[in-house]
Structures are given as C-alpha cells and as structure tokens.
Amino acid sequence: MCGIVGYVGNKTAADILLDGLTSLEYRGYDSSGIALNIDGKMKLYKAQGKLQNLRNIIKNDYAEISKSTIGIGHIRWATHGVPSVENAHPHTCNCGKVAVVHNGIIENYKELKAKLESKGCHFKSQTDTETVAHLVASKYAETQDLTEAVRLATKEIEGAYALAVMHQDVKGTIVATRRNAPLVIGFGEDENFVASDIPALIQYTKKAMYLEDNQIVTLTSDSAKIIDINNNPQTLKTETLPWEPVALSKMGYKHYMLKEIHEQPDIVRNVLTGKLKATDEQINLNEVTLQKADLKELKRIQIVACGTSLHAAMVGKYLIEDFCEIPVEVEASSEYIYRKTITDDKTLVIGVSQSGETADTITAIRLAKKKGSHILIITNRPDSTMAREADSLVPVNAGIEVSVAATKSYMAQLISFYLLAIYMAEVKGSINSEELNELKHELIMLPQKIDKVLTNKEEIQKIARKFSGFKDFIFIARGINFPTALEGALKLKEISYINATGYSAGELKHGPIAMLDDSMPVLSVLMKGKVYEKILSNAEEAKARNARMIALTDSDDIKLDDLFENIIHVPEISEILSPALAIVPLQLLAYYIAEFLGKDVDQPRNLAKSVTVE
C-alpha cells in the first residue's frame, strides 16, 4: 500500500524515481509525486491519478529537472484525505525545505498536528504524513542535523511508517527509517537507493539491506550510515537479492495478471521442488520447526488470513481436518483481532499472506504469539514482517506478484497447504500411506493438467465475451471447492466490478435463489466426487428459475449438456486436489470479462497490492 523510492547518485534522479514508481505502481495508484533538489532548491512535482500524469508534468520541465541527481518519490493509496494533488506526497514544512514521503499511518497525528499548529505550522493537506514534515523541520531547527531531526521526530510518532526525508540545506543526503512498514536500501557504484519494495531497485542493483524497525539510515551517494532510535551505531548487513529484473516484465503478455496465470504450472513445480521428491518418500518440510512430538499433541489449529489468502486457508482447513483429524478454525484476520480470542500453547496458529505485510494478519499473529501459540507463516515474501515474526516459515516461492488480483500466489499457497497437510499426516500417521502416495502422484501431474486448461483459454474467452454484459454473477460449489467459488467470485468482482458472489450450493435455496431469473448467470463448480450429485441437484433448482447456467467440470457426462448452456471442461482430477485445477479457468474467466469491459486489469480501482492498514 503506497510505494516509496529514493535515489542519490550521479544519474538523473527523476528517471530513476519514475522507473521505481512504475514498478511500485501495483501498490497504489491514486496520486504520485517526487521531490528533487535542483540547484540547491527543493522542488516538488505532484499529480493526481495514474503515474502517467506525473510523467507528463515532468516531461514539460525536463531540462531543468534532469539536473538533479537526488530525490525521493511516492505513489499513494489514500488513507487520510482524498486522492488529490494537495494530499499527494512528498509533503513539506512551512518553509518548503523539508520533503517527506511516507507509507503507513501516523496514529497520533491529530495530537502532533495540534501541537505543531500552536507553534505556527500551517497545514496544506488532510494527510497524517504532513505532520512528519513539520515535526522534522522543527527538530532540524533545534539540531541543525537531519539524521538527528528524524531520530527525534520518530520518538514522538506513533503508528506504522516507512519514511524517506530530504532537506534542502543538507545536500546529497536522504534519511530514511521504518517501523512496522518495509524499507530496503540498495547499494550501487557511487549511488544508493531506498525503496519500500524490491521491484523499485532490482533493475539497478541486487546488493541490498532490509532495514529493521527503528533503524535510521543516512544515505549519500557513497555512504550509508545506520543508527537505531537510541543513537547506537548499527552494522550494515548487505545481501544479494534473489530476484531477476525479467521476473518483473510482462514477457509479451498484455497484462501481468495473464502472465501470472500462465506461470502457475511452473509455480507448482517450484513449490514441490526439494519437498516432494518421490511418491513413496515422505514430504520434506524442514521449515516446520514445531517438534514432531508437539505436532502430534496439537489440539487445535487456527488459520488467519485475508482476501484470496483466506480462501487458500479455507482449502487448508479442509485438507488438515481430512488428513490429520485436528479441528481447524479459519477466520478473517480483521475479525480474529477484535473479539475474545481463545488460543494457547497447544494451538498452532497459521498466518497466510502473499505480501507478508497485511496489517490485519500481522496484528492477529502477534496476538496469538503473545498467548504462546506456535506461529507458522505461509508467505510469498520471506523478507516480510510476517516472515520475521514466524516460528516456522513456509515460503511459497511464487516470485513477485505484480498484478493486484492474486493468482499465482493463491496457487502457491494451495500447494503449500497440500504439502503441510501431507507432512502433518505423515508425522501423525493419521492416514494410510497409499492414499497419500496417490495424492503425491497427482500433485506431480498437476502442472500438466493446468497447462491443458491454459491451452483451452479460447473457449473460456468466448464464454467471457458472452457473459461480460451481465451485472451480477453467482458462483456455487460445495465441500472443498466452496472456497473455489468464493475465489472465482472475488476475482471477478475485483477486476470487472461485476457484483459476483460465491455461495455454498446447498445454501442457494435458503435465500439467494430469490434473486434468480434469466438475468443471473450461475456458475457451478462441479468437480467429480462426494458432492457432485448434490451440486447437480442444486444446479437444477437454479435452472428451474431460468438462471443462465454455466458449469466448470471434469465430468464428460452428456446429461450436463441439457442442464448447462456453457460448459468449461478441465482434465479429470481427484476431488481432494481439484481446487488447484478448478481455480485456473475462473481466473481466466474473470480476466477476459474484465478485459472485454476495458477495465484496468492489473490496477483495479480502489485496491492496492499490499494492505498495510487495519
């Protein structure tokens, strides 16, 4: 949520900042801005809306702007104050010499603002961030030292922040700091970078350091000095980033989302590598540090997550209960944190998150940790806050996901849950090995089946075109594919803004059926298995109300041709593994509908990739 980039070196800063913001655009896109020091003067350039608007402003003044080799930039997802030029970052103080970009929320900004206003500060925006600019300016007036001014300011700030700060009179210097929001420093030859996420740096350097909470870095083109909030010097710990810049290109696809959907067969292979070696060998999951004896004694598991990750968690519940016979509760993190939460050291708490930075889930796992639960995190970002809080870290290795709508990370989370559930069942001996070996074999074959679905995409495209004019959509399923229906509906509403809802098929007759008529498409996730016949009956009930019937199925039963107007066929698969296959056509359906409607697929309105506020 929001993106920060800063550069100090010998190249045109504006170019690097704009490139950096482009690669962070998936984190927010309602306004943007940069601050540059041009000939000793602090200059701000800001625009409302997409980054292109800022690019246009910069183009008009490029001869002047290109002189600057230092700057900070920001792309915003509004929390305090509407998206507007006034509220866009960077923010500045009365004299305009301090420039600040900020991710996160300053929780005590109202008190700080009142204090600063009483000292004569004039606020120009509705943001919480502007308080930081005035606060740093007032501390600088006392100390004449920018690092010290930032350090003293952070002592008064409450909340979550990643900050990058410049001062007109402190030439060639950026000061940056963080608390509960990510920030990474990148090191180049006579140039240094700071950013809220790796995509902003990776095309320039792979040498980087993740800043820890309350560390403050003072960056010049040839130095990086770090202190903590109590002024103790800190050691620079650089590492080589594992990402390749090419991973962040569209590779010829029209949108990142389409590219990421197509990456899924490889993602499954990646997640299985080293963990599932042969069908008759036990799963190797060294990442689970919970002692096997403790694992056998577990009385309960709770899984907390949000959005798409929550749907993966729901499949995880089904698997763990089925294989291990341990009761599993799944709850949206935002609900888990504001009620009496019952957990203890006999409960395993699993947090699932693509970004590892979702504020609701971070708060939930911290709460459980305080109560003594072992915290297992399934995340795509081993460099994230959640990963650092984990007792056991199961990285899902899906690579950076750029499209705001999660696809490949969902697949990777699902596969991680299969591995985890099999691993736990093997430790507990709760299921016979033949059944598990069969599932392992199917997991190994899964990438080929996903490939087949992807080659059938023209068929899905035709159905998407036919149904793209509908205003509402219902997805129904039962059992292990109920989360598939929820996820299919979420994908569609996120990127096409169509009112799509997932229902348990058995619930249809208890209310939602009232909405059905010929203006309502009903998509049934109809995978062969225990609930196949039941869903078929529920689909009949919908057909009897003239709903427009679509099936997604691995069955070749010709009876279906009479019931359904359109059928999306997928290769045959066991019911237990079917969520990992059935979701792919639903991702494609959502993608093509949004594309036909001309929506901004990768950056849907009002959303941001990583939601760092509660």
Q: Of 239, 291, 70, 245, which is closest to residue 164 (Cα–Cα)?
A: 70
Residue tagged 């050291």 (tokens): 345
Residue closer to ligand F6R by CB (options 112, 406) is 406
3-state secondary structure of 441: helix
Assign residue 122 a region (left: φ > 0; alpha: ψ between -120 and 50; beta: otherwise).
beta
Residue closer to ligand F6R by CB (options 34, 306) is 306
Going from the C-alpha of 613 to that of each of 85, 300, 338, 365, the distances in angstroms are 22, 29, 15, 15
CB of 381 to ligand F6R, least distance (A): 8
Q: Of 176, 189, 178, which is closest to residue 71 (Cα–Cα)?
A: 176
Cis peptide before 90 (omega within 30 of 0): yes
CB of 594 to ligand F6R, least distance (A): 12
Residue closer to ligand F6R by CB (options 343, 610) is 610
Q: Of 82, 56, 62, 78, which is closest to residue 14 (Cα–Cα)?
A: 62
Residue closer to ligand F6R by CB (options 215, 587) is 587
CB of 361 to ligand F6R, least distance (A): 5
DSSP 30: S
Residue closer to ligand F6R by CB (options 62, 338) is 338
Structure tokens at 507: 């619930």
Among 2, 93, 121, 324, the one annotated catalytic = 2
CB of 72 to ligand F6R, least distance (A): 25
Q: Of 72, 27, 70, 13, which is closest to residue 46 (Cα–Cα)?
A: 72
The DSSP H or E segment spanning 165 is strand 159-167
Listed in sequence order, the residues at least 6 apart from 264 whose beta carbon sits closer than 8 Å to its beta carbon are: 407, 408, 411, 447, 450, 454, 584
Interface with ligand F6R (CB under 6 A): 306-309, 353-355, 358, 361, 405-406, 490, 494, 610-611
Q: Which residues share a beta bridge with 73?
A: 5, 34
CB of 145 to ligand F6R, least distance (A): 38
Q: Is 311 within 8 Å of 414 (Cβ atoms)?
A: no
Residue closer to ligand F6R by CB (options 75, 583) is 583
Assign residue 49 a region (left: φ > 0; alpha: ψ between -120 and 50; beta: otherwise).
left
3-state secondary structure of 177: strand
CB of 283 to ligand F6R, least distance (A): 24
Structure tokens at 90: 């960077």
Cα-flanking dihedrals φ and ψ of residue 554, to 5°?
-110, 15
Residue closer to ligand F6R by CB (options 138, 413) is 413
Residue tagged 């104050």 (tokens): 81
**Catalytic site includes residue 452:** no
Among 113, 317, 408, 609, the one annotated catalytic = 609
The DSSP H or E segment spanning 426 is helix 408-428
**Catalytic site includes residue 306:** no
Residue tagged 């997932």 (tokens): 502
Residue closer to ligand F6R by CB (options 46, 255) is 255
Which residue number places its CB atom closest to ligand F6R? 307
Indicate which residues carry an active-site annotation. 2, 609
